[in-house]
Amino acid sequence: MLLKIKSGYFAVILSLIVFLVIAGCIQFLDREIAERVMRFLQSVHTLHKATENIPDLLPYLVGAGTVLTWVIYFYRLSKKKYGIKTQFLFLSATALPAAYVLKSFFQFAFGRTSARTWLILKIPHSFNWFKDFANGCFPSGHMTVFAAFGTAILIYYPQRRKPVLILLTLLGTALIATDYHFLSDVIAGAYLGVTTTYSLLFLIGKRRTTN
């Protein structure tokens, strides 16, 4: 019981810290970083053209990943394999679509003008609450989904911590370096992805076996 209370306090304190960091980025860092990145991209014609119209493959990745993990999960169940791999597959197959749905809701709820829309189309940077479903960028959907999946890996395979964290860091850096997201979008997406997976883990229960 005491451990659960301490864990709860830690989660609350961590959440407050993350919220303060996000607020600080929105207020002081986001626009300056985005402007500097855009100036650099425009100074290198090849980079500017390469990053101008990157297709959004996230819905297809989530759909394919969800279907694949569920198929493998049910196959393992049919073979009566109930171990860590099967539990990981179940959590991943649940976390991927949940993270995608949540990021879509919050992007609609916040309706934040995206970095490229603000910089290229000169549309005022603002939060259009519950009005901008198509163009909302807060939190980052890519960061939310991949952080959710990465968290599932870390829960069941903690020895993979280093490559997972490196890949997530590279993803976040790429989203900022191509000016498709502000810094706070990426931080919020990572936080949402992590909390989504841990919330699902709490709901479904974490049962480790050796099968």
**Could you tell me the CATH number of the domain that includes residue 184?**
1.20.144
In this predicted structure, what is the pLDDT of residue 103? 97
The pLDDT of residue 52: 84
Neighbours of 158 (CB within 10 A): 9
User: Residue 89 falls within a domain, yes or no?
Assistant: yes
Kindly report the average pLDDT of the chain as a whole number.
91
pLDDT digits (tens, 9 = 90+) for 89-132: 999 999 999 999 999 999 999 999 999 989 988 888 889 888 86
Give residue 1's pLDDT band: very low, low, confident or very high (50, 70, 90). low
C-alpha 112/C-alpha 136 separation (Å) is: 5
Residue 210 lies in a domain: no
Determine the straight-line distance between the first and last CA of the chain, rounded to whole angstroms: 29
Domain that holds residue 74: 2-204
| DSSP character at residue 158 | G
CA 191 – CA 189 distance, rounded (Å): 5
> How far is residue 97's CA from residue 148's CA, in Å, rounded to a whole number?
10
Phi/psi of residue 127, nearest 5 degrees: -105, 110
Q: Is residue 73 part of a domain?
A: yes
pTM for this prediction:
0.93
3 has pLDDT over 60:
no
* pLDDT band, very low/low/confident/very high, at 40 (cuts 50, 70, 90): very high
What's the residue count for the chain? 211
- Answer whether the bond into residue 59 is a cis peptide, omega within 30°: no
More confident residue, 181 or 82: 181
Please, which residues have CB within 8 angstroms of residue 197's CB and are 6 or more apart in sequence? 91, 95, 99, 148, 149, 151, 152, 155
Count of structural domains, the chain: 1
Asked whether residue 32 is assigned to any structural domain, the reply reads yes
Residue 209 lies in a domain: no
In a domain? residue 196: yes
Give domain status of residue 211, yes or no. Answer: no
Say what the pLDDT of residue 210 is: 40
Q: What is the pLDDT of residue 8?
A: 72
Q: What is the pLDDT of residues 178-208, one digit of tens each?
A: 999 999 999 999 999 999 999 999 888 754 4
pLDDT at residue number 11: 85
